[in-house]
Amino acid sequence: MAARLTLRDVTLRFGGITVLHDVGFEVEPGQIFGLVGPNGAGKTSLFNCISGHYRPNSGSITIDDAEVAGVRPSTLAKHGLARTFQHPGLQLRETVLENVMLGAHTRLPGGPVEWAARLPHTWRSERKLRAEAGTLLERTGLGWAIDNTADELSHGLHKAVELCRALMSKPRLLLLDEPAAGLPHSEVQQFIETVRSIRDNDDITVVIVEHNMGVISALTERVVVLDHGAKLMEGTAAEAQSDPRVIEAYLGKDEVDDAA
């Protein structure tokens, strides 16, 4: 079942610098929600707070009714959270299939000793997950690359593999950090269709950070715009793109004044 994500007054400081200031919003179960803003707005820092890589100084982050602010990423996986990164950390000398299977490590029974011993129940589970990873790659248009090593693929395809790896954990909440960056124009539409399919068929809530406003417009029901670590506005992608405050945040006041 898709998760509800709620943030209230999330503040993050590094030394004397406030990176996030009282950020709050709610993402409904099954929604595709966008997080946008100019470079340095705090989008990835907020993702890091949600995914447990940063502990906010104050505020609340809940997945459904569970408080998760400051909870470690490994524990958050048990709450159904998965995440991709701007720079995918694939095992370049391993096959695409093996990379995707890494996303299912929390679903294998037993522990490292049993895995190393290749006990019958772990072997059966691994065989089942291998088939599942292959089906997922076929479904997302990467079936042709199953036996390729990751270093044979482009950076854009690395992101597609990382998405499949995240899906192997069976998440209820999926955070996508600039997933379309590096994709050629011809592959962007395929990505949009893949995310829609994930939300519709897998019952997942999706939160996406993306600079490509065409992707944001095509995918999201609502967006939050951040600027200098604070929430600037919340609404539809069309409302954000026409909001004078957002235009000023992206272009700068001088550019806006000159255009006027």
User: Can you name the CATH fold of 1-80+171-260?
Assistant: Rossmann fold (3.40.50)
Q: What is the pLDDT of residues 204-223, one digit of tens each?
A: 999 999 888 889 999 999 99
Angle at 207 between CA 1 and CA 217, to 5 degrees: 120
Of the pLDDT bands very low, low, confident and very high (cuts 50, 70, 90), residue 254 is: very low
CA distance 50 to 48: 6
Mean pLDDT score across all residues of the chain? 87
Of the pLDDT bands very low, low, confident and very high (cuts 50, 70, 90), residue 121 is: low
- The answer to whether the CB of 37 falls within 8 A of the CB of 232 is yes
The structural architecture, per CATH, of the domain 88-169 is: 3-Layer(aba) Sandwich (3.40)
**pTM for this one?**
0.87
Output 132-140 pairs: Cβ under 8 A, ≥24 positions apart. Answer: 132/104, 132/168, 133/97, 133/100, 133/101, 133/104, 133/164, 133/168, 134/97, 136/100, 136/164, 136/167, 136/168, 137/96, 137/97, 137/100, 137/164, 139/197, 140/164, 140/194
- What is the Cβ-side half-sphere exposure of residue 161, based on CA atoms within 13 angstroms? 31
Domain residue ranges of the chain, discontinuous segments joined by +: 1-80+171-260, 88-169
Would you say residue 82 has pLDDT above 80? yes
- Please list the alpha-helical segments (H only) found in 118-206: 120-139, 155-167, 185-202
Are 1-80+171-260 and 88-169 equal in CATH topology? yes
Q: What is the pLDDT of residues 221-252, one digit of tens each?
A: 999 999 999 999 999 999 999 999 998 988 66
CA distance 200 to 173: 13
Mean pLDDT over 106-135 rounds to: 70
| Secondary structure class of 76 (helix, strand, coil) | helix
Q: What is the pLDDT of residues 140-158, one digit of tens each?
A: 888 998 999 998 988 878 8
Would you say residue 112 has pLDDT above 60? no
In this structure, of 5-9, 17-21, 75-79, 181-185, the range with the lowest mean pLDDT score is: 181-185
